[in-house]
Amino acid sequence: MAREVAVKPFAVPAGLSPAVAGRCWFRDQIGESGCAVYRLAAPGMDDLYLKMADAETLGDLVDEMVRLRWLSAHLPVPPLQGFGLEGGGGWMLTGRVPGRTAYQLLEEDPAAAPALAASLARFLRRLHAVPAERCPFNADHALRLAAARERMDAGLVDESDFDESRQGRSARAVWDEMLAALPSRFDRVVTHGDFSLDNLFVANGEVVGCIDLGRVGVADRWQDLAILWHSLAGFGEAAAAAMLAAYGTALDQARLDFHLRLDEFF
C-alpha cells in the first residue's frame, strides 16, 4: 500500500484557510491515530501537517495536542502551528520535523539497520529519562488492558491484521494467552506509546524528532522497546540486537511478548 496518496484540497475552517492556501494535499495511509492526516506541500516552503478529527476522534486529537505541548519542553517534536475546535470536530496544524523517517532510510539501505537501530535506542533512552513524576499522563498496562477489553467486547479488533505469528487466532484466544503469561513486574517511565520507524525522524545518523504523540504517558518501558524491537526485526536479528545493546538492556521475553500481544488490540 502507498504510504500516502494525492487528494484534492477541501474546504477548511476560516481560521485555517490562510495557512493552507495554495498547497498540494497528500493523505497519509499509514498512521493509526484515527484522525485524517494530510501533508500539505508547496514549492520552496516547508511541508505542513494537518490532522482533522470528527466527533468520534476529537478526543484523540485533543490528547495529542496536549501531549505534544508538554513533551516539547523535553524532546524535539513538531512545532504546533494551530489548533481549533469547530462544528463538533477539530483540527491541528504542525510544522515538519527535519530529516527523514527511519523507515524511509531503512527502505533505501537495509544494511544500515544496526547503526540506525543504535541511534533510535539512544533517543529512546532520552525519552525514558524524562522524570516520570513530572508527566501528567497515564498510559500504563492496566489502562491499556481495560481499553483492549472494551475493543474486543465491541468487536473492534481486526484479527486479520494480527502479526504473522498470530494469524488465524481469535482476539479472545490472544487475550487469554496474554493474561496467562502476564509479566511479574512492570516499571514506570515516560513512554511514547507507538515508538515505530514511521514516527522517528533522522538526520546525519541521529534521531532529531518524533511524531504521533497521542499515546504519550507513564508506562512500562517495554511498551516502547517491544514496538521498536518488532519494527526492526524485519531488517534482521542484528538490528534488534544492536538496539537493545545501545539502549543498555537484555531481552525480557515475557514483557516483549506481553506488549506485542496487547498491541494487537489497537
Q: Same domain for 104 and 55? A: no
pLDDT in tens, 95-115: 999 999 999 999 999 999 999
Mean of per-residue pLDDT scores for the chain: 95
pLDDT band at 11 (very low <50, low <70, confident <90, very high): confident
- pLDDT, average across residues 192-207: 96
Cell numbers 504542525 correspond to: 94
Which of 1-10, 29-38, 165-174, 236-245 shows the lowest per-residue confidence on average (mean pLDDT)? 29-38
User: Could you give the CA distance from residue 69 to residue 231 in angstroms, rounded to a whole number?
Assistant: 27
CATH classification of the domain holding 19: 3.30.200.20
pLDDT > 90 in the chain, percent: 91
User: Could you give the CA distance from residue 196 to residue 99 in angstroms, rounded to a whole number?
Assistant: 16
Number of folded domains that form the chain: 2
Q: Same domain for 126 and 153? A: yes
Q: Same domain for 107 and 235? A: yes
pLDDT greater than 90 at residue 172: yes
Q: Same domain for 194 and 164? A: yes
- pLDDT, average across residues 28-47: 87
Over 186-250, what HEC string results? CCCEEECCCCCHHHEEEECCEEEEECCCCCCEEECCHHHHHHHHHHHHCCCHHHHHHHHHHHCCC
pLDDT in tens, 51-65: 999 999 999 999 999
Question: Is residue 22 classed as helix, strand or coil in its secondary structure?
Answer: coil
Are 68 and 49 contacting, i.e. CB atoms less than 8 angstroms apart? no
- pLDDT, average across residues 119-137: 98
Are 238 and 202 contacting, i.e. CB atoms less than 8 angstroms apart? no
Last residue within a domain, chosen from 76, 95, 114: 95
- Compute φ and ψ for 180, nearest 5 degrees: -70, -25
| pLDDT at position 68 | 98
pLDDT greater than 80 at residue 32: no
* H/E run at residue 20: helix 17-20
Are 27 and 7 contacting, i.e. CB atoms less than 8 angstroms apart? yes
Question: Is residue 107 classed as helix, strand or coil in its secondary structure?
Answer: helix
Q: Same domain for 54 and 16? A: yes
194 is catalytic: yes
CATH classification of the domain holding 188: 3.90.1200.10
| pLDDT at position 14 | 83
Q: Same domain for 86 and 112? A: no
Angle between helices 141-153 and 253-263 (to 10 degrees): 40
- Compute φ and ψ for 205, nearest 5 degrees: 85, 0
- pLDDT, average across residues 209-220: 97
Q: Same domain for 91 and 104? A: no
What is the residue range of 205's domain? Answer: 100-263
One-letter amino acid at 33 equals S
The number of CA neighbours under 13 Å toward the Cβ of 240 is: 17
| pLDDT at position 30 | 78
Q: Same domain for 172 and 141? A: yes
Q: Same domain for 174 and 75? A: no
Question: Choosing from 194, 198, 220, 224, which is the catalytic residue?
Answer: 194
Last residue within a domain, chosen from 95, 110, 126: 95
| pLDDT at position 138 | 98
Last residue within a domain, chosen from 44, 79, 95: 95
pLDDT band at 73 (very low <50, low <70, confident <90, very high): very high
| pLDDT at position 13 | 85
Cell (9 digits) for 45 = 516552503
